[in-house]
């Protein structure tokens, strides 16, 4: 199959799909896109099924040469995009002809862009998914967890659509805003002193430069966590509080077991906002109920046909 020849791969560009749930009991993290909102819109613009394989582009600096007449969709971070020098609008789908070059510059806001192709990019399935997990050596174009490199070929199908389309502006996030992220308290929350729970919600935190696809690390006035002597299974969004008192919010490539006390979980829809925050971003938190989070998540899944 022909597709897109990679001329420049950027700092970290990886194939992702809906991930590989169902393997955590064997120590395999689910992976998948860090910003599921932007990824869902990219596939939706091309009428792809939920979780079709797409490219997650961290920070930008990607250049692709097309070998096929096709259409692409670009969402997520504000990556200045152009085809043979002509600008391409953000959060839109657009045609790309054989012989043309698509250039994605460095992000002006946000951290990760999502590039989708009709039907999804073709890649081998490992444990039912092509999601790239570099630490565990799973997924990607080679099936071994490799990030995109210059010289790679992103296989995609030829396609012809009637017209261009874009995401309505009310649904396009402003990644320059200081986010207020919602937290469902639970886990070991009752073992925390009430003053410590309030301290987490009332103070401002900063996103550590040490954050990655495994976890978002916070920096602020340390919390005093209760002592716990056993490990348990953890999920994405879990807020761990290690002995140094600096919380860690688990991300898509999280470990499957953890022994740090859990303060609660980040609202699933806010996890995707967190994924677009740069290092040193100021973060604030507020509480939300399980029922409120479930209702919003059901609405999101209904819209995208999951």
- Per-residue pLDDT tens over the stretch 194-241: 999 999 999 999 999 999 999 999 999 999 988 876 788 999 999 999
CATH architecture for residues 180-303: Beta Barrel (2.40)
* Of 241, 266, 238, the residue nearest 254 (C-alpha): 238
Sequence ranges of the chain with CATH classification 2.40.100.10: 180-303
In degrees and rounded to multiples of 5, residue 262 shows phi and psi of -105, 125
Tell me the pTM: 0.95
Residue 295 binned pLDDT confidence (cut-offs 50, 70, 90): very high
Structure tokens at 183: 């937290």
Residue 20's contacts (CB-CB under 8 Å, 6 or more residues apart) are: 28, 30, 31, 126, 127, 128, 129, 131, 138, 139
Q: In the predicted model, is pLDDT for residue 162 greater than 80?
A: no
pLDDT digit string (tens) for 102-126?
999 999 999 999 999 999 999 999 9
Please, are residues 200 and 206 in contact by the beta-carbon 8 Å criterion? no
Mean of pLDDT values over 178-187: 93
Which letter does DSSP use for residue 170 in this model? G
């Amino acid at each position: 199959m022909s597709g897109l020849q990679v001329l420049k791969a950027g700092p970290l560009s990886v194939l992702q799909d809906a991930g590989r749930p169902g393997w955590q009991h064997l120590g395999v993290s689910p992976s998948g896109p860090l910003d599921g909102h932007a990824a869902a819109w990219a596939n939706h613009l091309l009428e792809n099924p939920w979780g079709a394989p797409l490219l997650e582009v961290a920070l930008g600096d990607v250049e692709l040469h097309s070998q096929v007449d096709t259409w692409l969709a670009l969402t997520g971070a504000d990556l200045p995009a152009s085809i043979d020098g002509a600008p391409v609008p953000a959060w839109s789908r657009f045609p790309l002809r054989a012989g043309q070059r698509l250039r994605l510059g460095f992000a002006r806001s946000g951290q990760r862009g999502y590039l989708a192709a009709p039907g999804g990019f073709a890649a081998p399935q490992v444990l039912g998914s092509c999601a790239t997990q570099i630490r565990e050596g799973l997924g990607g174009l080679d099936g071994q967890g490799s990030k995109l490199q210059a010289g790679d070929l992103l296989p995609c199908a030829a396609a012809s659509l009637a017209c261009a389309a874009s995401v309505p502006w009310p649904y396009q996030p402003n990644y320059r805003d200081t986010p207020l992220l919602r937290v469902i308290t639970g886990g070991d929350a009752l073992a925390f002193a009430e003053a410590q729970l309030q301290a987490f919600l009332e103070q401002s935190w900063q996103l550590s430069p040490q954050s990655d696809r495994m976890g978002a690390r916070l920096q602020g006035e340390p919390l005093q966590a209760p002592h716990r002597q056993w490990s348990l299974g953890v999920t994405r969004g879990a807020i761990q509080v290690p002995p140094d008192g600096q919380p860690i919010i688990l991300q898509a490539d999280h470990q499957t077991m953890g022994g740090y006390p859990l303060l609660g979980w980040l609202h699933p829809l806010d996890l995707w906002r967190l994924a677009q925050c740069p290092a040193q971003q100021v973060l604030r938190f507020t509480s939300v109920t399980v029922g409120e989070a479930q209702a919003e998540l059901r609405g999101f899944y209904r819209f995208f046909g999951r």
